[in-house]
A and B are shown apart, each in its own frame.
Chain A
């Protein structure tokens, strides 16, 4: 089993932390509000088929917080620049939650280096009347507990979120999240108008019991992306890639295979 490597890349005055593993077509994963910087089992699975690249967003974890970080478009444009700097083409772009929002913004702005788009319980679109979890009004433990449908997994996540060792990174991350998502809360009216520009093969995966961003929001994506495949995963919370890893990996690899590499 090939191990993963960790590198730093500097672009536009911002040095970010990047994890890489595997070979094949490039698959870039953008992490969610829970933070990045971790190499997870589902990534290992995908690295058997793809060259998996997992950057940590500007403002988060071990990456810098640049002066220019004002909103979600800054991150999306930064990553488009990152794809260009890495000279990546035919990219399978994937993002979860906040990262799904960033991925959708990138695809809306410039899809020229992208081959497919996979959004996992993405933020970015608001559906009138659907109430999202307000992570800014809850403790880190409460937030972590909401991530999973499975109670034991939720308890375990809450326990990890209470660990003082991670406190500094958690605080840095939530400051960055507020910058990007405080208002309007976790969505972008521009994206909602122009999401329809995206013609890429698109898969939207959503946990049916997502308590952070309810699965009803999938409808908001379906309306704007009529060609997208919508996969609602039963007995699953906000992180299908973790809570239902095997189902998720199978679904994504099938989607990419069918979309033609």
Chain B
């Protein structure tokens, strides 16, 4: 397994009672509740936490993109990646944004990523996402154009990275007479591309296709979904004419390690429940605006609607595999089980979550690095071992 420390950078001072007055901490929760003094402290603390992961020997670190929310303070993740690019020395830096359809000029991302790739001498991992539904309320971009804009923006960026310029780009949403990127990316032909998703068959089919073979990352979902989508990726790869490697599959999993199970559960409970019940709170209309999913996918999601929006406990999250929590032994065992079943080789542990304070985040990261990573570093998924070595 390879390990990428993942931070969401929430506004940890979110009023725990905000939900008595507001349905959500996204989009409509007034930014007068953001205190710049506290925000400055958090940014610097969180960057320290990510830099510490570099010192502890993680393979990579990840930043994230969301807009107009207390859930995460990284609307322009490239700025944070820039800050990390000089302070970290060995880790890969994965930008698990950028929401391409929201952009009027996707070349800005091609440029930003190319700069990061040059400064870090090839430590950049390029994430491309559509953004979650609420970003379409925040940006004004039409969600019915989301898929098409994503594909077109992606094509433009990849061509800008790989095709000698200047050349014209003639799309439906994007048109440029002169595409001629300076700088070109450091990694050739281009930085590795990772596609995080909550699970969309359209996205999985596209990412797994033979000509792309992009890394697919399953974000915060029950393991039943993890298994289903990773199986789907391998199946789609097979249909496309090759066997997918476990190195093409990653899992973003909130994780907490302490000396004993009992201590871990006790320490993590308020913070993981704050994360899931306060930070992740959003009405369906905001999460899934019309057109964001295909009509048929949307009908499936609406049928499962009942399970959204109710209070969730830590025990439930552990049970369905959305949270791994316990002693180093427990965490190693759970990760191994899930690796064998799902067949991934990339693990993106969220070692900070919700309101987890600095001291516990630090200890969590240390224990994970010292007592979980070494034992699993050479581990490969059962059944996928040959493929991963190849």
B partners with A:
yes
- List the interface of chain A (C-beta within 8 A of B): 136-139, 167-168, 171-172, 174-175, 177-179, 182-183
Which residues on A sit within 8 Å (CB–CB) of B289? Answer: 136, 178, 182
Q: Would you list the 9 A-B pairs with minimal beta carbon distance, nearest first?
A: A178-B290, A182-B142, A174-B290, A175-B290, A179-B144, A183-B140, A178-B144, A178-B291, A183-B142
Surface stretch bound by A, among B124-132, B185-193, B295-303, B365-373: B295-303
Tell me how many residues of B have a C-beta within 8 Å of chain A: 18
Given A136-B290, A167-B302: A175 and B142 within 8 A (CB)? no
Do residues B143 and A182 form an inter-chain contact, with CB atoms below 8 A?
A: yes
**Nearest Cβ in chain B — how far from A174, in angstroms?**
5
Residue from A139, A177, A183 whose CB has the most chain B CB atoms within 10 Å: A183
Expressed in whole angstroms, the Cα–Cα distance for A138 and B23 within the complex equals: 12
Q: Does B285 contact A (CB under 8 A)?
A: yes
Expressed in whole angstroms, the Cα–Cα distance for A139 and B287 within the complex equals: 12
Do residues B291 and A179 form an inter-chain contact, with CB atoms below 8 A?
A: yes
* Interface membership of chain B positions 270-314, coded 1 if the CB is closer than 8 angstroms to chain A and 0 otherwise: 000000000000011110011100010011001000000000000
Closest to A178 in B: B290
Expressed in whole angstroms, the Cα–Cα distance for A83 and B285 within the complex equals: 37
Do residues A136 and B291 form an inter-chain contact, with CB atoms below 8 A?
A: no
Which residues on B sit within 8 Å (CB–CB) of A177? Answer: 290
**Nearest Cβ in chain B — how far from A188, in angstroms?**
14
Which residues on A sit within 8 Å (CB–CB) of B137? Answer: 136-137
Name the contact of A138 in the complex, choosing from B136, B285, B299 (C-beta under 8 A).
B285
Which residues on B sit within 8 Å (CB–CB) of A174? Answer: 290
| A to B contact number (C-beta, < 8 Å) | 44
Which residues on B sit within 8 Å (CB–CB) of A139? Answer: 284-285
Residue from A168, A178, A179 whose CB has the most chain B CB atoms within 10 Å: A178
- List the interface of chain B (C-beta within 8 A of A): 136-137, 140-144, 283-286, 289-291, 295, 298-299, 302
Closest to B284 in A: A139
Expressed in whole angstroms, the Cα–Cα distance for A182 and B143 within the complex equals: 8
23 pairs, A vs B, C-beta closer than 8 Å: A136-B137, A136-B290, A137-B137, A137-B283, A138-B285, A167-B302, A171-B290, A171-B299, A172-B295, A175-B144, A175-B290, A175-B291, A175-B295, A178-B142, A178-B143, A178-B144, A178-B289, A179-B144, A182-B142, A182-B289, A182-B291, A183-B140, A183-B142
**Nearest Cβ in chain B — how far from A56, in angstroms?**
17
Residue from B141, B142, B284 whose CB has the most chain A CB atoms within 10 Å: B142
Closest to B285 in A: A137
Closest to A183 in B: B140
**Nearest Cβ in chain B — how far from A171, in angstroms?**
6
Expressed in whole angstroms, the Cα–Cα distance for A171 and B142 within the complex equals: 16
Expressed in whole angstroms, the Cα–Cα distance for A7 and B140 within the complex equals: 37
Beyond A175-B295, A182-B136: 17 further Cβ-contacts under 8 Å?
A136-B289, A137-B137, A137-B286, A138-B285, A139-B284, A139-B285, A171-B302, A175-B290, A177-B290, A178-B143, A178-B144, A178-B290, A182-B140, A182-B142, A182-B144, A182-B291, A183-B141
Do residues B143 and A171 form an inter-chain contact, with CB atoms below 8 A?
A: no
Closest to B294 in A: A175
Closest to A167 in B: B302
**Nearest Cβ in chain A — how far from B66, in angstroms?**
18
Do residues B295 and A171 form an inter-chain contact, with CB atoms below 8 A?
A: yes
Which residues on A sit within 8 Å (CB–CB) of B290? Answer: 136, 171, 174-175, 177-178
**Nearest Cβ in chain B — how far from A25, in angstroms?**
37
**Nearest Cβ in chain A — how far from B149, in angstroms?**
12
**Nearest Cβ in chain A — how far from B144, in angstroms?**
5
Which residues on A sit within 8 Å (CB–CB) of B143? Answer: 178, 182
**Nearest Cβ in chain B — how far from A138, in angstroms?**
6
**Nearest Cβ in chain A — how far from B219, in angstroms?**
24
Do residues B295 and A179 form an inter-chain contact, with CB atoms below 8 A?
A: no
**Nearest Cβ in chain A — how far from B197, in angstroms?**
21
Expressed in whole angstroms, the Cα–Cα distance for A168 and B283 within the complex equals: 20
Do residues B142 and A136 form an inter-chain contact, with CB atoms below 8 A?
A: no
Do residues B299 and A168 form an inter-chain contact, with CB atoms below 8 A?
A: yes
Expressed in whole angstroms, the Cα–Cα distance for A185 and B214 within the complex equals: 36
Expressed in whole angstroms, the Cα–Cα distance for A215 and B365 within the complex equals: 58
Expressed in whole angstroms, the Cα–Cα distance for A168 and B300 within the complex equals: 11
Do residues A171 and B298 form an inter-chain contact, with CB atoms below 8 A?
A: yes
Which residues on A sit within 8 Å (CB–CB) of B299? Answer: 168, 171
Closest to A181 in B: B142
Closest to B139 in A: A183
Expressed in whole angstroms, the Cα–Cα distance for A136 and B298 within the complex equals: 15
**Nearest Cβ in chain A — how far from B140, in angstroms?**
5
Closest to A182 in B: B142
